[in-house]
Amino acid sequence: MGQGSGKPKAWGGRFREATDAAVERFSASVHFDRALARYDVRGSIAHARMLGRSGIVSAEDAEALVDGLRRVAREIESGEFPFDAAAEDIHMNVEARLHELAGPVAGRLHTGRSRNDQVATDLALFLRDAGRAIRRGLAELRGVLLGRAEEHLDTILPGYTHLQRAQPLRLAHHWHAYVEMLGRDAGRFADAGARLARSPLGAGALAGSTLPLDRDDTARALGFDEPARNSLDAVASRDGALEFLAAAAIAMVHLSRLAEELVLWSSSEFGFVELADAYSTGSSLMPQKKNPDVPELVRGKSGRVVGSLVTLLTVMKGLPLAYNRDLQEDKEPLFDAFATLRDCLQVLCGSLATLQVDSDRMREAASDPMLLATDLAEALVREGVPFREAHEAVGRVVAHCLEKDLDLGRLSREDLQAFHVAFPAGAGELVDLEGSLEARSLPGGTARATVAAALARAGQELEEEMARIEAEEGRAAETDR
């Protein structure tokens, strides 16, 4: 047992004893929810203005509150705001500081409001900005990947299944796969953002207020479409944060796979790429080492973001309506996932932009004629042979080559016809590396023009996304004023 700070608490009157020091430490959140400071002040300014406009407080008092809150905002911006753990959370910190700066009028700010609707509002405002920032980061990475893909339209490498060489690909095609994944990730963040359109502010602790609050006014002022339609839902729900975390976890899994390929490809065994010095580290013991720490950390940090999603899902599960203090546990995983994903996007952008590609080495790995075995089977199909039969025949050709150490690509028509009479020509005429790529001109395929068109389309979509992000940033800056 220890003495608390003895500071007056917002819940004042009912309490005779100060909070125990351990409880004060245990329940304080300002060391992390300070990340919400600017949103908290923004919400408070909208609330104070509305209190004045609705005649709940006098026009002069409203003005004094707004002036004081603006001073608080400036202190937050400049880093001078005296965050105080004894004042528990960001909401009480802002209000306490307002008391110091504006005097007793500060006592009118919390009229018709609870920290429950306040924190839900702060969080929605944070999520809107964070989602947009992540979309920008995703767009930047897509831009880098597209640029590198365009550069490597004619770089050929083996595609893998089960990490066994499977069929040849263009490096452009390979990286475009990630552009598509990251595009869907951006879509998930945008969808989640669109569901943050209803303002919790005015929902009170759980049941609204007897005062004539103008919820439409604060909703509009904060850039929401309308007030939340149910006061309990408004304060008890965190699915906006869950959606953000789910989208972040999926995006991190995508980044982790891309990172894993950078790790593999930069090994001596593959030797496909080399990370720039600025994006690798050395070993403190082995002077020859150049380690892919950046992609390894991205791969590792994906576990952390997935963990954050699981943390919040587990916090929420089984909570009765409406607010419960458990909900304070929403913030650390959310902030951590946001910062982690943002940073991973940034370092991957740099890693990929500066990555050296060894096109010769990739092509050499793709030049194993075994990679064209499927094409050989399809040559038989074109002669009217059922695919299963063609597959079986080419399988025997492959076994024969492996056994006798022969090059599949050099087998003559006669050699091939020993396995199936329908082979119309020698392997050299039937299949070759470029031809194999070019023959796959179906949508989504590997032909040069097909891949180039897919890249162009992705570039177009990326431009549209950038324009949307910029328009939304403009609107956000507008409501921020």
Residue type, 322: A
- Cβ-proximal residues to 426 (8 Å cutoff; 6+ apart), any chain: 411, 412, 413, 415, 416
CB of 368 to ligand ARG, least distance (A): 58
Decide whether 14 or 481 has the Cβ nearer to ligand ARG: 14
Binding segment toward ligand ARG, per CB under 6 A, in 115-123, 178-186, 275-283, 396-404:
115-123
Cβ-based nearer residue to ligand ARG, 122 or 375: 122
Of the residues 162, 209, 284, 351, only one is catalytic, namely 162
- Provide the β-strand partners of residue 281: 291
In the block, residue with structure tokens 């496909």: 272
CA-CA-CA-CA dihedral for 196, 197, 200, 203, to nearest 10: -140
Q: How far apart are CA 110 and CA 44, in angstroms?
A: 9
Phi, psi for residue 273 in degrees, rounded to 5? -140, 160
162 in active site: yes
Contact stretch for ligand ARG (CB under 6 A) within 38-46, 299-307, 320-328, 397-405? 320-328
Q: With CB under 6 A as the contact rule, which of the stretches 48-56, 325-333, 367-375, 459-467 interacts with ligand ARG?
A: 325-333
Q: What is the rounded distance in angstroms from the CA atom of residue 471 to the CA atom of residue 438? A: 40
Strand, helix or coil at 268?
coil
**What torsion do the CA atoms of 215, 217, 219, 225 make, to the nearest 10 degrees?**
110
Active-site residue, selected from the candidate residues 283, 351, 367, 391 = 283
CB under 8 Å to 457, separation ≥6 — which residues?
Answer: none
Classify residue 55 as left (phi > 0), alpha (psi -120 to 50) or beta.
left
Does 325 bind ligand ARG (CB under 6 A)? Our answer is yes
One residue of 97, 115, 215, 254 binding ligand ARG per CB under 6 A: 115
Q: What's the residue count for the chain?
A: 481
Query: Both tokens of residue 393?
Result: 């025949």
Binding range to ligand ARG, per CB under 6 A, among 136-144, 296-304, 321-329, 468-476: 321-329
Distance between CA atoms of residues 401 and 409, nearest Å: 10
Specify whether 412 is catalytic: no
Residue 11 vs 384, nearer CB to ligand ARG: 11
Among 9, 19, 24, 29, binds ligand ARG (CB under 6 A): 29
Task: Rule CB under 6 A: choose which of 57, 119, 306, 469 binds ligand ARG.
Answer: 119
**Which two three-digit tokens encode residue 459?**
């570039």
Dist. CA 301–CA 254, nearest whole Å:
12
Answer yes or no whether residue 327 interacts with ligand ARG by CB under 6 A.
yes
By CB under 6 A, tell whether 324 contacts ligand ARG: no
Q: Is 328 in the site for ligand ARG (CB under 6 A)?
A: yes
Span interacting with ligand ARG, options 112-120, 263-271, 360-368, 387-395, rule CB under 6 A: 112-120
**Which residue number, 37 or 182, has a Cβ lying nearer to ligand ARG?**
37
CA distances from 283 to 261, 265, 267, 299 (A): 21, 19, 15, 19
Strands 226-227 and 198-199: parallel
Alpha carbon distance 250, 341 (integer Å) = 10
Using CB under 6 A, which of the segments 113-121, 383-391, 460-468, 471-479 binds ligand ARG?
113-121
At its nearest, how many Å lie between ligand ARG and the CB of residue 205?
Answer: 7
Which tokens belong to 82? 């005296």
In three-state secondary structure terms, 226 is: strand
Of 125 and 144, nearer to ligand ARG (C-beta) is 125
Q: Which residue has the tokens 């949307």?
A: 468
List the x/- string, 60-99, binding to ligand ARG by CB under 6 A. Answer: -----------------------------x----------
Cβ 316 to ligand ARG, closest distance in Å? 13
Nearest to 32 by CA among 89, 117, 91: 89
Residues touching ligand ARG: how many (CB under 6 A)? 10
Task: Report the alpha-carbon distance of residue 368 to residue 449 in Å, rounded.
Answer: 24
CB 240, min distance to ligand ARG, A = 14
x/- contact string, 32-61, with ligand ARG (CB under 6 A)?
A: -x----------------------------
Which one among 39, 81, 279, 323 touches ligand ARG, defined by CB under 6 A? 323
| Residues labelled as active-site residues | 162, 283
Q: State the residues that interact with ligand ARG by CB under 6 A.
A: 29, 33, 89, 115-116, 119, 323, 325, 327-328
